């Protein structure tokens, strides 16, 4: 009796534990309907698009941002009467599921969207590892899969025909940072050759970053990587690693880290009294949360490169239109690159459907492969070059945190909203 | 500053954190013979408690230690009385207790997602990035404070277990609960108090961890694994062994960077764990009965 009561209790506990996951897994939305509701039952005149995002779990925050971008794009399409397909406006419906930030769930939900929900097309999830798992399912089922959340080149080097990525590779991110550093070196502001301490997280993201920096250094001959170390994600103590960097006494400190590791490492970097002429954490650096966690003083002069910045709205009409739309929908809040990439991912798919003039998967795939549309991304144009495995190579914007608390774009020159400073004047103090 | 001395200091400070994380797990296993999988959940809860008290009421995290520990202690007792107590003792209840406490952890994690979302949180104080000079090296004031708390916890635990009636009762129950019943020790009460104490220690570890690095509802999983390594290395049920094992693990991880790539240093601890389990299954210091 006691055992059966215990077993019953265990079932209740486990059911409660799983309840939230199950409840949040299905969130069909379409047009102007709030998330979790469907405008109308899909008919023959409806384009059904499936997607998963990490709405719970480790990547929940970013998943929520992508969701805002997706919903804005669907709402805009609905306001315009639908998507033009062969001269006829068709309604759009998004079936959005929560992949709980796990690879297995992302892959199985993609399979469900294709084979049970019978969606016409798939939008991708966020984070390289999830996109990597999900893209296999899309390729196997031969369904166009457009994602704005997977940057690792490994995803696009498999010769897949049905997978399209909007995030330019992290190698290019590293190269963008190195190019700006190079201009400073050529201007005589940095030593020649300059020594580099290169730290990278042990993921495909980190490996791509390392490749970008080392290839640039090898090609230019004006840089020498003297510390080249990787570290595990979510590290608790970087003091030994930073000790190695300190002992090497390099000119540049270039790291690639996710936000939690950036905060932990920078905290230890500051307390160890370290300072470099140039410091970067790859895509991290300009986040408001980091400045709040570390104080603005401790993130000054950090360089970062991101796929998009809302500062581009002063340079690009497409970016301005998106920022205005986003602010109007979300109470004046300014979008970050996550929402912009989410929005642009949907727009790319809709543009290809319109160009194909039908919902035929192969026709849409071909149009995606040949797509060339004005874009809110830096460079102003979106393409999926075949030579890069259908991964966009839109340029990055390089930003630098300045003492006044702003992080202007310092490169590329045509997108710059401010002037960068090198070397870090704080090191002389 | 000599590089070797820097690494020694880094090892000692990291050991403080590891020891704090492992005390609670070791204590509960030593007395109740239960592997508390909710240890990770309580580490996460402690982190959020400290963060909430600081962000909402401006209470310094080190001042929050006592109230957080007190509330967690009561929560631990409630958890024991309401859940763990109902399971059969010994090997028969092993799998059930694992499942039950894992379930509790999942519930706590999902509740944290509902309350605080999946965003990374950080606990920033005026001294978060302050450094002090220790033996010629700049070290984080926070890490020194964490080490001091770990040391104080070890001393208090040692005194509690060796010099007080409660401690003696705990050790007696850990040795032979049936005989304790014969001499008038209320075994169930000791179990509840021990579970409460272990839970409070986990929450303290979480709060201290939150002063050092960002956290989210998934926080605690990696810490639970490290705690396992430390507890097994030190010998299940040995508090002093736990502290020494924490120092060994930290030193191995920190000094490993001199010989292997940094990303492999985290794995060194697990290699050590396997070696100890094969060569000395009772832990480096043998299977002791606390204290």
In a domain, A249, yes or no: yes
Whether A245 and A340 map to the same domain: the answer is no
> Distance between CA atoms of B245 and B95, rounded to whole angstroms?
27
Residues of A in contact with B139 (CB under 8 A): 271
The DSSP secondary structure of B184-227, one letter per residue, reads T--HHHHHHHHHHHHHHHHHHHHHHHHTTS-B-TTTTHHHHHHH
> Distance between CA atoms of B24 and A334, rounded to whole angstroms?
45
* A217 pLDDT above the threshold of 70: yes
Q: Report the residue from A58, A236, A243 with minimal CB separation from B7.
A: A243
* B139 prior amide bond cis, ω within 30: no
Q: What is the mean pLDDT of chain A?
A: 89
Residue B214: beta bridge partners?
A: none
pLDDT tens-digit series, residues B114-168: 898 878 899 989 898 898 888 777 889 999 999 999 999 999 999 999 899 999 9
Please report how many Cα atoms fall inside a 13 Å half-sphere around the Cα of residue B271, on the Cβ side.
8
The DSSP secondary structure of A89-131, one letter per residue, reads EEEEEEEEEE-TT-HHHHHHHHHHHHHTS--SEEE--SSHHHH
In this prediction, residue B62 carries a pLDDT of 96
Query: Are A205 and A314 contacting, i.e. CB atoms less than 8 angstroms apart?
Result: no
H or E segment at A305?
A: strand A302-306
In this prediction, residue A17 carries a pLDDT of 43
* A216 prior amide bond cis, ω within 30: no
> What ipTM was predicted for this assembly?
0.83
In this prediction, residue B90 carries a pLDDT of 63
CB-based contact A240 B257, cutoff 8 Å: yes
Q: Provide the pLDDT confidence category of residue A335 given band limits of 50, 70 and 90.
A: very high
Please report how many Cα atoms fall inside a 13 Å half-sphere around the Cα of residue A335, on the Cβ side.
35
* A69 pLDDT above the threshold of 60: yes
> Distance between CA atoms of A25 and A96, rounded to whole angstroms?
8
Yes or no: domain B3-279 corresponds to CATH 1.10.3470: yes
> Distance between CA atoms of A263 and A69, rounded to whole angstroms?
26
* B248 pLDDT above the threshold of 70: yes
pLDDT tens-digit series, residues A238-262: 988 999 999 999 999 999 998 889 9
> Distance between CA atoms of B174 and B126, rounded to whole angstroms?
43
Cα-Cα-Cα-Cα torsion B82, B83, B86, B90, nearest 10 degrees, comes to: -140
Whether A295 and A419 map to the same domain: the answer is yes
In a domain, A6, yes or no: no
Whether A196 and A248 map to the same domain: the answer is yes
Closest-CA residue of B relative to A237 is: B14
Q: Provide the pLDDT confidence category of residue B287 given band limits of 50, 70 and 90.
A: low
Q: Report the residue from A60, A292, A295 with minimal CB separation from B118.
A: A60
pLDDT tens-digit series, residues A267-307: 999 999 999 999 999 999 988 888 888 999 999 999 999 99
Whether A200 and A89 map to the same domain: the answer is no
More confident residue, B284 or A164: A164
Other beta carbons within 10 angstroms of residue A293's beta carbon come to 26
Whether A156 and A37 map to the same domain: the answer is yes
Cβ neighbors of A213 (< 8 A, separation 6 or more) are A174, A177, A178, A196, A198, A225, A254
Q: What is the largest CA-CA distance in chain B?
A: 60
Whether A282 and A345 map to the same domain: the answer is no
CB-based contact B120 A264, cutoff 8 Å: no
> Distance between CA atoms of B206 and B226, rounded to whole angstroms?
13
- Identify the CATH number of the domain in which residue A208 sits: 3.40.50.2300
**Domain ranges, residue A163:** 24-168+316-388
CB-based burial, A236-253: b 16+ in 10 Å, e otherwise: bbbbbbbbbbbeeebbbb
pLDDT tens-digit series, residues B8-43: 999 999 999 999 999 999 999 889 888 899 999 999
- Opening angle at CA B189, ends B185 and B191, nearest 5: 100
- For chain B, domain boundaries: 3-279
In a domain, A3, yes or no: no
In a domain, A271, yes or no: yes
Residue B239, Ramachandran bin (φ over 0: left; ψ between -120 and 50: alpha; else beta)? alpha
Q: Provide the pLDDT confidence category of residue A27 given band limits of 50, 70 and 90.
A: very low
In a domain, A78, yes or no: yes
In a domain, A251, yes or no: yes
Sign of CA dihedral B205, B208, B211, B212: negative
Q: Provide the pLDDT confidence category of residue A12 given band limits of 50, 70 and 90.
A: very low
Q: How many domains does chain A have?
A: 2
In a domain, A60, yes or no: yes
In a domain, A86, yes or no: yes
The DSSP secondary structure of A124-187, one letter per residue, reads --SSHHHHHHHHHHHHHHT--EEESS---GGGGSS--SSEEE-SPPHHHHHHHHHHHHHHHHHT
CB-based contact A56 B118, cutoff 8 Å: yes
Whether A31 and A113 map to the same domain: the answer is yes
Whether A153 and A70 map to the same domain: the answer is yes
Residues of A in contact with B212 (CB under 8 A): 236, 264, 267
Interface test with B, best of A239, A269, A270, A272 (most B CBs within 10 A): A239
Q: How far is B132 from chain A (nearest CA, A)?
A: 8
More confident residue, A421 or B268: A421
Q: Which pTM was predicted?
A: 0.83
> What is the token pair recorded at A209?
């970053």
């Amino acid at each position: 009796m006691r055992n059966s009561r215990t077993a019953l209790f265990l079932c209740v506990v486990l059911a409660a534990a799983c309840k939230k996951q199950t409840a949040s897994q299905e969130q069909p939305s379409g047009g102007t309907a709030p998330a979790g509701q469907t405008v109308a039952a899909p008919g023959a005149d409806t384009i059904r698009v499936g997607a998963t995002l990490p709405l719970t779990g480790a990547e929940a925050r970013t998943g929520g941002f992508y969701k805002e971008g997706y919903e804005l794009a669907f709402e805009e399409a609905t306001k315009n009467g639908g998507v033009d397909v062969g001269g006829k406006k068709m309604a759009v419906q998004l079936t959005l599921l929560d992949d709980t930030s796990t690879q297995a769930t992302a892959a199985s939900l993609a399979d469900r969207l294709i084979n049970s929900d019978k969606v016409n097309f798939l939008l991708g999830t966020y984070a390289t590892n999830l996109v990597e798992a999900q893209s296999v399912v899309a390729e196997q089922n031969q369904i166009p899969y457009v994602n704005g959340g997977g940057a690792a080149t490994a995803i696009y080097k498999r010769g897949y025909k049905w997978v399209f990525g909007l995030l330019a590779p992290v190698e290019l991110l590293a190269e963008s940072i190195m190019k700006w550093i190079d201009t400073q070196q050529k201007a005589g502001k940095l030593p020649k050759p300059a020594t580099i301490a290169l730290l990278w997280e042990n993921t495909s993201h980190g490996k791509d970053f390392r490749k970008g920096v080392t290839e640039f250094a090898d090609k230019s001959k004006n840089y020498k990587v003297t510390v080249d170390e990787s570290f595990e994600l979510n590290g608790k103590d970087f003091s030994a690693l930073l000790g190695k960097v300190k002992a090497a006494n390099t000119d540049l400190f270039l790291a690639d880290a996710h936000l939690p590791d950036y905060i932990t490492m920078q905290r230890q970097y500051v307390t160890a009294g370290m300072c470099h002429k140039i410091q970067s954490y790859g895509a991290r650096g300009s986040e408001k949360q980091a400045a709040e966690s570390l104080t603005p003083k401790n993130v000054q002069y950090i360089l970062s490169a991101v796929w998009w910045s809302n500062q581009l709205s002063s340079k690009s009409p497409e970016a301005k239109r998106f920022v205005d739309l986003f602010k109007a929908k979300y109470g004046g809040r300014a979008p970050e690159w996550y929402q912009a990439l989410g929005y642009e991912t949907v727009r790319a798919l809709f543009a290809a459907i319109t160009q194909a003039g039908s919902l035929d998967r192969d026709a849409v795939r071909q149009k995606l492969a040949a797509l060339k549309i004005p874009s809110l991304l830096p460079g102003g144009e979106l393409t999926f070059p075949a030579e890069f495995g259908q991964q966009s190579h839109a340029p990055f914007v390089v930003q630098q945190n300045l003492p006044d608390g702003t992080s202007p774009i310092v490169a590329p020159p045509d997108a710059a909203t401010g002037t960068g400073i090198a070397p870090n004047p704080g090191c002389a103090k | 500053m000599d590089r070797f001395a820097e690494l020694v200091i880094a090892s000692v400070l990291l050991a403080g954190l590891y020891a704090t994380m492992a005390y609670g797990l070791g204590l509960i296993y030593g007395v109740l013979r239960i592997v508390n999988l909710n240890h990770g959940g309580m580490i996460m809860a402690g982190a959020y408690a400290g963060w909430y008290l600081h962000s909402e009421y401006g209470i310094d995290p080190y001042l929050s230690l006592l109230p957080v520990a007190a509330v967690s202690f009561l929560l631990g007792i409630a958890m024991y009385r309401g859940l763990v107590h109902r399971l059969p003792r010994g090997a028969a209840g092993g799998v059930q207790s694992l499942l039950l406490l894992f379930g509790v952890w999942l519930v706590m994690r999902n509740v944290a997602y509902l309350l605080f979302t999946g965003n990374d949180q950080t606990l920033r104080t005026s001294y978060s990035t302050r450094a002090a000079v220790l033996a010629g090296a700049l070290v984080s004031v926070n890490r020194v404070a964490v080490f001091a708390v770990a040391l104080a916890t070890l001393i208090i635990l040692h005194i509690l277990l060796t010099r007080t009636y409660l401690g003696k009762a705990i050790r007696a129950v850990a040795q032979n609960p049936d005989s304790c019943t014969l001499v008038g020790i209320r075994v169930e009460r000791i179990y509840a108090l021990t579970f409460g104490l272990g839970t409070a220690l986990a929450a303290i570890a979480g709060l201290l961890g939150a002063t050092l690095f960002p956290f989210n509802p998934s926080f605690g999983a990696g810490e639970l694994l490290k705690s396992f390594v430390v507890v097994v290395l030190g010998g299940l049920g040995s508090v002093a062994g736990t502290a020494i094992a924490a120092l060994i693990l930290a030193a191995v991880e920190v000094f490993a960077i001199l010989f292997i790539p940094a990303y492999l240093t985290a794995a060194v601890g697990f290699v050590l764990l396997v070696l100890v389990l094969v060569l000395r299954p009772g832990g480096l210091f043998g299977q002791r009965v606390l204290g």
